[in-house]
């Protein structure tokens, strides 16, 4: 059984590491914040006090980190102390430039590497229903696929290095814009005194059907349980959606692509953050738009 080092034990990484340990992988975790170490150790995950200790003898190193700057810093430290050549997988959602740096850094040392950002949020991480969008070569992807299958229910090899990040940026751009439309639709329905469960029944099975309605409806007690039913406790925070939209806008500007709706959604989430609601789930935008 492969030894896995998991770097970054935040809300997502914590759940992903637990699923790997439950599948009987030998998992060693590391995070600069140690508050979850006791819980992880109670679930057969060894917790390290340094990156060097965490990656020692690892067959696979997975990182799940907040942004590209931190990914760059952490992987520089990892490669500086590596004694072997494990498979490197970065599951963070970051900009294309830093994803390219990650691949360049590992390639220079002949380390197999995949960028593999995820979709599904904390709920998907906990239930092991994440979707992995993977960039890299097919041989390395095939080696990693059993690991992806433990943490999620779908993985897609999107193309060569950085393709996973590119697809993730496009996916979350669409999700944000879609959630804005869903929120406006249900806000209008409320003002028209429509039964919102009936509206859900129609939209979820007709031309308005989309993931934001079918799986994440931002209306309390309508559709499957979602963050709105828990006071918008984040499955995927407004702050993180704001970050992902900034990545999409940056990529669009670099490639001279028009993204007007995305920029408007970005401004909405900027206002949510400015009003101290950045930690709430991104579906909170329905309340903001009221």
- Calculate the alpha carbon distances from 60 to 6, 112, 192 in Å: 8, 10, 54
| Phi–psi pair at 154, nearest 5 degrees | -160, 140
| C-alpha to C-alpha distance for 17 and 45, rounded to whole angstroms | 8
Q: At what angle do helices 260-274 and 163-191 cross, to 10 degrees?
A: 70
Torsions phi, psi of 14, nearest 5? -60, -50
The question of whether 290 is a catalytic residue gets the answer no
φ/ψ of residue 279, rounded to 5: -80, -10
Which residues are bridge partners to 280 per DSSP? Answer: 233
Instruction: Report whether 42 contacts 66 (CB < 8 A).
Output: no
Instruction: Confirm if 103 and 76 have CB atoms less than 8 A apart.
Output: no
Q: Is 246 exposed, middle or buried (0-12, 13-18, 19+ CB in 10 A)?
A: middle
**Which among 36, 112, 126, 168 is annotated as catalytic?**
168
Q: Which residues lie closer than 8 Å to 146 by C-beta, 6 or more apart?
A: none
Helix H or strand E segment including 3: strand 3-7
How many other CB atoms are there within 10 angstroms of residue 39's CB atom?
13
The residues that are catalytic are 168
């Amino acid at each position: 059984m492969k030894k896995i080092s998991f770097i970054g034990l935040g809300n997502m990484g914590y759940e992903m590491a637990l699923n790997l340990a439950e599948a009987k992988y030998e998992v060693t975790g590391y995070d600069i914040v140690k508050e979850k170490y006791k819980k992880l150790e109670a679930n057969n995950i060894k917790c390290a006090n340094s990156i060097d200790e965490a990656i020692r003898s690892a067959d696979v190193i997975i990182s799940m980190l907040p942004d590209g700057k931190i990914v760059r810093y952490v992987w520089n430290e990892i490669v500086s102390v590596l004694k072997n050549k494990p498979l490197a997988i970065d599951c963070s959602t970051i900009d294309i430039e830093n994803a390219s740096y990650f691949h360049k850094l590992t390639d220079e040392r002949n380390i197999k590497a995949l960028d593999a950002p995820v979709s599904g949020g904390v709920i998907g991480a906990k239930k092991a229903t994440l979707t992995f969008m993977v960039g890299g070569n097919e041989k390395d992807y095939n080696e990693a696929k059993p690991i992806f299958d433990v943490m999620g229910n779908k993985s897609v090899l999107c193309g060569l290095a950085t393709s996973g990040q590119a697809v993730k940026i496009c996916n979350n751009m669409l999700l944000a814009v879609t959630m804005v439309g869903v929120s406006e639709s249900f806000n209008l329905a409320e003002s028209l005194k429509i039964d919102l469960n009936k509206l859900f029944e129609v939209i979820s099975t007709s031309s308005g059907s989309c993931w934001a309605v079918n799986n994440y409806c931002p209306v309390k007690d309508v559709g499957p349980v979602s963050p709105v039913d828990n006071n918008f406790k984040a499955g995927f925070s407004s702050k993180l959606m704001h970050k992902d939209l900034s990545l999409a806008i940056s990529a669009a500007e670099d490639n001279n692509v028009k993204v007007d709706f995305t920029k408007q959604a970005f401004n909405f989430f900027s206002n949510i953050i400015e009003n101290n609601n950045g930690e709430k789930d991104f579906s909170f935008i329905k309340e903001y738009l009221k």
